Chains A and B, each alone.
Chain A
Amino acid sequence: MFYREAGIFKTSYAADQALFRIPIDKLFVIGLIAFAFIVIPMIGNEYWLGSILIPTLILSIAALGLNILTGYCGQLSLGTGAFMAAGAFMAYKFATNLEGMPIILVILLGGLSAAAIGVAFGLPSLRIKGFYLAVTTLAAQFFLLWLFQKVPWFVNYSMSGVPTAPPREAFGFLVTGAEASPTARYIFVLGFTVVLGLLASNLVRGRIGRMWMAIRDMDIAAELIGIKPLQTKLSAFAVSSFYCGVAGALWSFCYINTVEASAFDINRSFTVLFMVIIGGLGSILGAFLGAFFIFLLPIFLNSAPGWFGLSIASETIAHVEFMTFGALIVFFLIVEPAGLARLWGITKEKLRLWPFPY
């Protein structure tokens, strides 16, 4: 944020290793979380909560997952949508076949199933790197979606093939399904986002995070230090797929309210990948920035002309929206290829020296 570290001295390694090394940073994040939990539900309307914040938060979870795999461990993946679908369908199976199971557990189990599937599709990563690995994860994308569409067992032999998400309660509030209030669903999703976000930042600054980054930056040196490449890569696949699985389950249960494979097609994978690239590879903050940028910018572009009293035909707006969106992405990548999070870091560094940058 816009303040300096001057005058903050640490007397123990514990203080120096803390998640937020500057006290005001911590206050800011706590304040932001409190704002998101308390103020936003009060001021937000149904459209904002239900159609904008919920999907953005869910996609941030998926972006966190992909960032762990691609940004931290360096394994390019195009299978995000498939792992989200795995989470959604497995959560649906758990929710419908085990009636009394708490919904939080259902969603976590969906995530764990996705993690297991992710590990299986991560196995080729020992031998295959870079773009070639991306192509093998593409296989996961197509195979898993085909599986979920073709095998009726996954949707409990539902006639339509697109079952609705079962309504479930958490802490006495209805949080999933179409009848749940947007506020309840929003708080539920926000809870997952905050907890998973904190866990991810803990992981990446600890031993396992360093092992992932070591594999990403110099796999040979990492191996000679004693890091086992396969286990490390698979652990990244597992954690990443877990995040994607949870995101997929939430997407089906709290946002679109149906369990369908078409919600997790290749476009979803690309969207999440763009979020990670635009936000910043290898940055937890970047996952959130990217998700908000990619999801909110089109909405902003769509409604901006109206604010200035311009009446433009809706088709024109749609075209302009695409063009501006594309141009902005190119602009941001030219200004800072390492993403919004890096841009933020540079801004902070410059401000620290301002107005005497010598």
Chain B
Amino acid sequence: MAEPTGVEASDRTFGEVVLKMDSIEVGFGGVTAIDNVSFDVRRGEILAIIGPNGAGKSSMLNCINGFYKPRSGSITFKGKTMKAMDPHYAASNGIARTFQNIALFRGMSTLDNLMTGRVLKMKKNFLWQCLYWGPAQKEELENRAYVEKVIDFLDIQAIRRTPVGRLPYGLQKRVELGRALAMEPDILLLDEPMAGMNVEEKQDMSRFILDLNEEFGTTIVLIEHDMGVVMDISDRVVVLDYGRKIADGTPAEVRANKNVIDAYLGVPHED
């Protein structure tokens, strides 16, 4: 991290607000995991959510794609305001995600995992599928063609037919990203995409994220603990601490924010 890249990032232009989280509160029993947090996501940006462990980052992603229902607050997605997201609605309207602990379908091959990402794009009914013929076969092949594009993009041709349970960790993370990409998402939620990776794998993953954002215009919301990566690739950073939002701005602003330094980094950041 030779110099801050926030300056470059600020030259980029973004579209309208595609997702608006308004006064979200999430609790489990007596614990309040997220307390009155609001932020918005603009089309085409890379937004990082950071914060210490237990700050509510993953819970926030879970709210965005409907796995958790907020106690209060509202979510506005593509102009529609709702109290809580429904997982199926989120998936069919272009929200895809990866998980902190890899949540691949371990018994299936890489190809089948990616094809599973396409289930919502496939409509042919059950009887056609029994026959695997005519329209159903045509549909399979069209989706296969799309999945192959994702495979090419991620450079995982060689492991197409390998059961994902046998793959090394870094590749599993990549396949999981591929599964999310197969859904043709508008918003991609990445929960610690670089956790447990070595430097090279992190570089690869960062490159994929930037390429995705540039080539396909995918909006990306990511949670990451590697500050170097976060500051380098994100356009905007939201900082959570104990379920509250303590900062929201460009990497340069956040880096200079007194609250963030106190709460999260602990010491003044110098490198």
Contact = CB atoms under 8 A, between A and B. Distances in A.
Contact of A217 (B66, B67, B107, B117): B107
B47 to A, nearest CB: 19
Interface string B39-69: 0000000000000000000000000011100
B120 to A, nearest CB: 4
B27 interface: no
Interface string B91-113: 11000110100011111100010
Interface in A66-103: none
B103, B108, B119, B144, most chain A CB atoms within 10 A: B119
B88 A221 contact: no
B119 A227 contact: yes
B92 A226 contact: yes
Chain A, interface residues (CB within 8 Å), range: 20 to 34
A19 interface: yes
B141 A17 contact: yes
User: Which of the four size classes fits the interface of chain B?
Assistant: 35 or more
A13 B108 contact: no
Given A14-B141, A221-B105, A226-B87, A206 B119 contact: no
A213 interface: yes
A348 interface: no
Contacts of A299: none
B129 A206 contact: yes
Contacts of A190: none
Interface string A10-47: 00011011010000000000000000000000000000
A222 B105 CA distance: 9
A225 B183 contact: yes
Interface stretch (B132-140, B194-202, B244-252): B132-140
B103 A220 contact: yes
Contacts of B124: 207
A355 B67 CA distance: 52
A265 to B, nearest CB: 31
Contact of B126 (A17, A216, A235): A235
Interface of A is mostly: helix
B116 A224 contact: no
**Interface-centre pick from B65, B88, B90, B145 (highest chain A CB count, 10 A):** B88
B122 interface: yes
A208 B112 contact: no
Contacts of A226: 87-88, 91-92, 119-120, 183
Contact of B132 (A206, A216, A220, A282): A206
A13 B145 contact: yes
Looking at A13, A14, A210, A213, which has the most chain B CB atoms within 10 Å of its CB? A210
B137 A14 contact: yes
A211 interface: yes
B136 A213 contact: no
Nearest to B148: A13
Contacts of B119: 207, 210-211, 214, 225-227
A207 B120 contact: no
Interface of A: 13-14, 16-17, 19, 199, 202-203, 205-208, 210-211, 213-214, 216-218, 220-228, 235, 282
Interface of B: 65-67, 87-88, 90-92, 96-97, 99, 103-108, 112, 115-117, 119-120, 122, 124, 126, 129-132, 136-137, 140-141, 144-145, 148, 179, 183
Question: Which 7 residue pairs spanning A and B have beta carbons closest together?
Answer: A226-B91, A217-B105, A202-B132, A221-B103, A226-B120, A206-B129, A13-B144
18 contacts: A13-B144, A13-B145, A17-B137, A17-B144, A199-B130, A206-B129, A207-B115, A207-B129, A207-B140, A208-B126, A211-B119, A214-B119, A223-B87, A224-B66, A225-B91, A225-B117, A226-B119, A228-B88
